[in-house]
Amino acid sequence: MDQESLKKYRPYPQVQLKDRTWPDKVVSKAPTWCSVDLRDGNQALIQPMNLEEKLEMFQLLVEIGFKEIEVGFPSASQIEYDFLRLLIDGGHIPQGVVPQVLTQAREGLIRKTYTALSGSPEGVVHMYNSTSTLQREVVFKKGRKEIIDLGVAGAKLVHALAKDVDTKIRYEYSPESFTGTELDFALEICEAVMDVFEPTPENPVILNLPATVEMSTPNIYADQIEWFCRNLKNRDCAIISVHTHNDRGAAVAASELALMAGADRVEGTLFGNGERTGNVDLLTLALNMFSQGIDPELDFSSINRVVNVYERCTKLKVPPRHPYAGELVYTAFSGSHQDAINKGMTALDLTQSSLWEVPYLPIDPQDLGRTYESIIRINSQSGKGGVAYIMDHEFGYKLPKAMHPGFGRVIQEVSDAIGDELSPDMILHTFEKEYLFNANGYALKSFNVIKRHIEEEEEKSVAEIEAVVAVHGEDKTLHAVGNGPLDAFCEALRSGLGMQFVLHSYHEHALTQGSSSRAVSYIEVLDADKESWWGAGIDTDIIVASIKSLLSALNRSSAKKKE
């Protein structure tokens, strides 16, 4: 960065709080949540929501479990006034859900706010005025006393009008740009407003301390919150609320540390939608708690629905790597990650543990309505473990471990060739083409066990077989005797066709269940050069499946030798 440019900036001042206690605190319960998606979030949209979209978003927020929802700034916008009336007159506000409305500390706006709120059983009137040093000096050109007088006058009107309506009014006050305000002044104006509202422990006022602009590291914001909580008179008569923005990219951390420092309530939006770089993301904050075994008291068990409604109403896209909700957050392309996830899932199945412990996955995707099918996805960076996971969890093929590297190389070649991610169906198609339907050299036309018996004196099985094998398009009839059908067929290939190979490994398992179930066989052979080749075969008869698997391995060996 240019050195001259650096001279324009200075460090944010530290809070003199030598005996801070918040670093030793642990968040053990959910705060009171307040969604501001319909106000802060909506005002940040290129195309603000219409009434239908606002209603759908409101209903989603209720479904998730928000009990306090800031529905708009009804005195400043006709559509926000109309929306509040739609909620009230249409009976869309469930019992226990409280609408919150924002207003500046100005008489005309406050009066219109009460008109808009008429008929609602409850409501939070959220009044604010800017208190920051910079805005006092540059925007308003007013001193501290004048700013306090403005806030107190607004509070007096809000309090007086509350006595004349049939709505149960709760009060909220925000010293806007709290993080740009001297702490002693923020405390002074909040206490002056509290004196007007006359809160009690049974009917507390909400004091919202917003990081309207995120100006410091999260620990300093936590210091500010602890200092404020310590020095506020009648602390038991106030709910301390935080409203963090994300200018430095640390809104979630700032809110978490603020809760440790004594905050009781958090305002924010889904996916952090808000002015500039956004508000704190309530979904991330809540699921961070969930991942620690704390009930967030918000329901994100159908996270895909939340994403769909949000994207439809806001016209914004949730980034694919967005925490918890992004399309790719439960997806691994890296080979080492895929292998670790595969082993972790297998271990979890074996142990039946009640604890979720899977490498690279801090939360079980199923808890959010996601499925395991999307955890591992394949591209040119993927490894053998991920490919094996897809084959097993998507299609039921439990490839032997020694087979993983070879098939992984096959898939990587295909991915490199197309330059894109491979879908599970493409992986299956590649497997079938490479192993199951590879009959370029040798193809089984018929196979019969002519005679099979046990030689009791030598305690061994003897089988005589007859098979017809197409060899490069020409049918050859083969006879042989061996210890069993597969051994006899190997002998038939060696004696009848002069082939040189050693049967090295054999695996099998059922692919489907029921009377017509199919079996899959995997066979490894070593060719004349001791090079390993795997093949696979499927049939309702396990013996035939093993014969097909052997020919598959030999065909792969033959094809590579020709290349």
Residue 332 one-letter amino acid = A
Which residues of the chain register pLDDT less than 50? none
- Tell me which residue of 232, 234, 253 sits closest to 244, measured CA to CA: 253
What is residue 375's predicted lDDT score, i.e. its pLDDT?
57
CATH homologous superfamily of 32-314 equals: Aldolase class I (3.20.20.70)
505 membership: H or E segment, kind and range: strand 501-510
Reported as a single tens digit per residue, the pLDDT across 147-189 is 999 999 999 999 999 999 999 999 999 999 999 999 999 999 9
Q: State both tokens at 279.
A: 């508000």
Q: Which CATH number fits domain 442-562: 3.30.160.270, 3.40.640.10, 3.40.30.10, 2.40.10.10?
A: 3.30.160.270
Give CA separation, 504 vs 62, 464, 524, 525, 533, in Å.
62, 22, 5, 5, 9
Question: Within a 10 A sphere around the Cβ of 28, how many other Cβ atoms?
Answer: 10
Beta partners for 241? 208, 265
Residue 208 phi, psi dihedral angles, 5° rounding: -95, 125
Which pLDDT belongs to residue 370? 84
Residues of the chain with CATH 3.30.160.270: 442-562
CB crowding 278-316: b at 16 or more within 10 Å, else e: bbbbbbbbbbbbbeeeeebbbebeebeebbebbeebbeb
Predicted pLDDT at 123: 98
CA dihedral 140, 145, 147, 152 (to 10 degrees): -150
Each residue's pLDDT tens digit, 361-395? 899 999 998 865 555 555 555 556 778 878 887 88
pLDDT of residue 60: 97
pLDDT at 381: 59
Strands 501-510 and 168-176: unpaired
- Say what the pLDDT of residue 178 is: 97
Q: What confidence score (pLDDT) does residue 340 get?
A: 85
Output helix, strand, coil percentages for the chain, rounded to the nearest 5: 45, 20, 35
Q: Which residue has the tokens 């957050």?
A: 329
Count helices and strands in the chain by DSSP H and E runs = 18, 14
Residues of the chain with CATH 3.20.20.70: 32-314
Q: Is 397 in contact with 407 (CB distance < 8 Å)?
A: no
Q: How far apart, in whole angstroms, are the C-alpha atoms of residue 165 and residue 179?
A: 34
Is the full-model pTM beyond 0.75? Answer: no
